[in-house]
Amino acid sequence: MSEEVLNIESLTFGYSKEALLFDDFSLCVAQGEIKAIVGPSGVGKSTLFELILGRSKPYKGTIKASSLSQVFQDPYSSFHPSYSIREQISEVSAMSGYAELMKKMGLNEEHLNALPHKLSGGQLQRCSILRALLMKPKLLLLDEPTSALDNLNQLDIMKLIVSNLEGMGVLLITHDAHLAQWCADETIRLG
């Protein structure tokens, strides 16, 4: 049996007690597993990540998460504008195996040495995913990770994430039901 990397039990939360986003919500993610959260805007997908990260507190219920990293929807908010991509990745990871992973992602040393504003949104998002994978998390939170990429790059990046699942579980937020169906072991619909 695979190790559990995320366990949410009986979660209840809302921005007011009259309008709950989650009422007795439970979810479990194990190593080697991808679970996808899909639903329209405003149903609490990103709020769930805020709760997992401890930035918001539930009314009731428990959330237990292993070491994690995350990829945000907007890559420009993920990097400090004054430091190179390499400096920012090396602050949080040992960079072990970065060259091979970088090559698989269509990145090169020039991308790593650049400041964030010098890269396109797609290049920067791939750098964000590279950083998250190099952190060797037990739990990877992906919030619309491929929305800044074209369809071909979306598929390549998701294949790369799927191929790196050993020792890691993934919780994916996406509006793309086809992407969720293709890569997830289970899809949870909100709203």
Does 17 have pLDDT greater than 90? no
Give the start-to-end residue ranges of the domains of the chain.
4-189
Q: What pTM does this model have? A: 0.91
Say which DSSP state 120 is in. Answer: -
Does 22 have pLDDT greater than 90? yes
* CATH domain 4-189 topology: Rossmann fold (3.40.50)
> How far apart, in whole angstroms, are the C-alpha atoms of residue 129 and residue 79?
12
Does 84 have pLDDT greater than 70? yes
pLDDT tens-digit profile of 105-123? 889 999 999 999 999 988 9
**What distances in angstroms separate CA 83 from CA 11, 79, 86, 88, 116, one per listed residue?**
38, 8, 8, 7, 8
- C-beta atoms surrounding 125 within 10 Å: 27
pLDDT for 148: 66
